[in-house]
Structure 1
C-alpha cells in the first residue's frame, strides 16, 4: 500500500499568568483595574507553559501534503477558535470564560455554537451523574447488607508419598 504524506496542524493550550497589585476600594474594582491593565504588562513578565499532564492536544486540520509548500495552512489560520471553561474540581463550581472573538460572531452563529457545546456538555454531565448514582447504589447496598460473609475455602491436603 502506497503511503501519502499529510500535514497536520496541532494546537495545545498554553496558560500564562502574572501577579499584579492594584489599588482599589472593592474587590470587583481591583479585578476591573487588573483586567484593564493586562495589555500593558510586558510579554516577558508572563509565566507559564503547556501542562501536558493536565491538557490535551487538538487537531485543527489535516490535509494531504502537496509539494514543499510551507504555507499549507495559511487559509485556515484564523478559522478555528476556542472557548474556555473554567472549573474548580474541588468545589464543583464552573463558568464560561468568554473570549473576545465571540463579539464578532453573529447571534445566529453564536446560538448554533452554544447548542453544539451544550449538547456535548450535557452528555458529559449525564455520564458523571450516572457514574455517581452507580457508586451511590453500590455504597447503599453495602450499608444495607453489611459486610459480606467470607467463608474460607480449605484446600484438600495432598498426602506426601
Structure 2
C-alpha cells in the first residue's frame, strides 16, 4: 500500500478495505459515503455508455479520410523551397540536379503506390470482421447477428 493511503486511513482498517470509509467489499472509487464527486472531475460524458464500434464502421471512416496527393505534393514543394531559401540554396538548381541523378539511376525514382481497389459499401445493417484463425473476412447482420462468409448484397435475405 502506498504511503499517502496509509497516512489518510485509520490504522485499524483492513489493508483491502475502502480508503474512505474502511468497509470491506468495495474500493474508494465505488464508495457511497465518499466525498469525491466523480461527475465534477470527469464530467457527464465519462458516464454515458457508448455503443459498440464495428470493424466495418472503422473501415468506412478510414475511406472517408482521402488524401489529396496533388495538394500534398504542392505543399511539400513549397516547404522544400522555403527551406532551401533559408539555407541560401537555389531550389530550381536542386530540382535540375535531382532530374539528372534520376536519369542516371532509375532505381532512385519514386514509384507511385497502386491505387486501392474500391469496394462497394456494405448494405445497411451489415458489419465485416476478420476470422482470427484464418484472417478471412466474414460478415454479420448487426441486428439479427446472422453471420456468413459471402459478402452480402442489398438483396441478401435477413432471417
TM-score, scaled relative to structure 1: 0.23
Q: Which has the higher contact order (CA 8 A, sep 6+)?
A: 1
Higher strand fraction (1 or 2): 1
Q: Give the number of the structure whose alpha-carbon radius of gyration is greater.
A: 2
